[in-house]
């Protein structure tokens, strides 16, 4: 039986990140603690200290992995879609879908309360996630698409819109059950913006 209990774990660092994400999925952000993560992996609560300076560093690593999956979720269905409105819809849907399916992880990712945005790895992962929005906002036409900072303004508009919707939905202000009734889903808002004739 390969399930011997060894003194050394062997691959603790990524295991802690995985355990943290698992707790977020199963129990939520409130239940995420250093001791809970360590306990889930089967080590003492001080073992993570050999790989992460403190809890914040571990949470930042969890957030980094979150951004990787977040970017992947947005790119899902984006690769095979030809340029145009469908790409916009696919990416924004991916953004919201990720937030809905992994609410605790999403909340952790975007809160400086948990994540250290000065961390180079986190920053790189977050930028790669932002790059998707940047990409699809290219050529997007809307009332503010004019002037010198057009591209930047368009990115900001799109990011704010999607991010705001996701967070409001997460906090219960926009309930999932009501979204088709009282509250319109994001896909009924975003696609109103059209791309220019290329």
6 binds DNA (CB under 7 A): yes
The SS3 call for residue 141 is: strand
Closer Cβ to its own copies, 8 or 112, answer by number: 112
Q: Which pair of structure tokens corresponds to residue 26?
A: 């199963």
Between CA 105 and CA 149 the distance in angstroms is: 33
Give the x/- contact pattern for DNA in 32-51, rule: CB under 7 A.
-xxxx-x---xxxxxx-xxx
Least distance (Å) between residue 32 CB and DNA: 7
143 binds its own copies (CB under 8 A): yes
Size of the site for DNA (CB under 7 A): 23
Size of the site for its own copies (CB under 8 A): 39
DSSP bridge partners of 195:
140
Between CA 163 and CA 48 the distance in angstroms is: 32
- Which DSSP category does 195 fall into? E
Least distance (Å) between residue 123 CB and its own copies: 10
Between CA 189 and CA 55 the distance in angstroms is: 39
68 binds DNA (CB under 7 A): no
Site stretch for its own copies (CB under 8 A), options 65-73, 84-92, 131-139, 150-158: 150-158
Binding its own copies (rule: CB under 8 A), the pick from 38, 73, 132, 162 is 162
Least distance (Å) between residue 119 CB and DNA: 15
36 binds its own copies (CB under 8 A): no
Between CA 181 and CA 192 the distance in angstroms is: 18
DSSP bridge partners of 194:
141
Q: What does the DSSP assignment read for 148-191?
A: TTHHHHHHHHHHHHHHHHHHHHHTTSS-TTTTTTTS--GGGTGG
131 binds its own copies (CB under 8 A): no
Least distance (Å) between residue 9 CB and its own copies: 31
The SS3 call for residue 114 is: coil
Contact 58, 43 (CB under 8 A): no
* Chain positions contacting DNA, by CB under 7 A: 6-10, 12, 33-36, 38, 42-47, 49-51, 54-56
* Chain positions contacting its own copies, by CB under 8 A: 29-30, 107, 110-113, 117, 142-144, 149, 152-153, 156-157, 159-165, 167-168, 170-174, 182-184, 186, 188-189, 192-194
């Amino acid at each position: 039986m390969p399930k011997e209990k060894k003194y050394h774990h062997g691959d603790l660092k990524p295991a802690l990140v995985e355990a943290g994400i698992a707790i977020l999925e199963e129990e939520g952000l409130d239940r995420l603690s250093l001791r809970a993560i360590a306990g889930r992996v089967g080590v003492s609560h001080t073992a993570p200290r050999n790989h992460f300076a403190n809890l914040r560093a571990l949470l930042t690593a969890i957030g980094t992995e979150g951004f990787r999956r977040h970017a992947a979720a947005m790119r899902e269905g984006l690769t095979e879609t030809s340029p145009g409105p469908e790409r916009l819809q696919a990416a924004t849907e991916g953004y919201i879908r990720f937030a809905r399916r992994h609410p605790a992880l999403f909340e952790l990712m975007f809160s400086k309360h948990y994540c250290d945005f000065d961390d180079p790895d986190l920053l790189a992962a977050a930028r790669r996630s932002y790059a998707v929005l940047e990409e699809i906002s290219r050529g997007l036409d809307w009332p503010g698409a004019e002037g010198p900072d057009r591209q930047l303004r368009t990115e900001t508009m799109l990011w704010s819109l999607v991010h705001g919707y996701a967070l409001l939905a997460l906090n219960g202000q926009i309930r999932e059950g009501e979204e088709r009734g009282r509250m319109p889903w994001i896909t009924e808002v975003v696609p109103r913006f059209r791309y220019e004739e290329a």
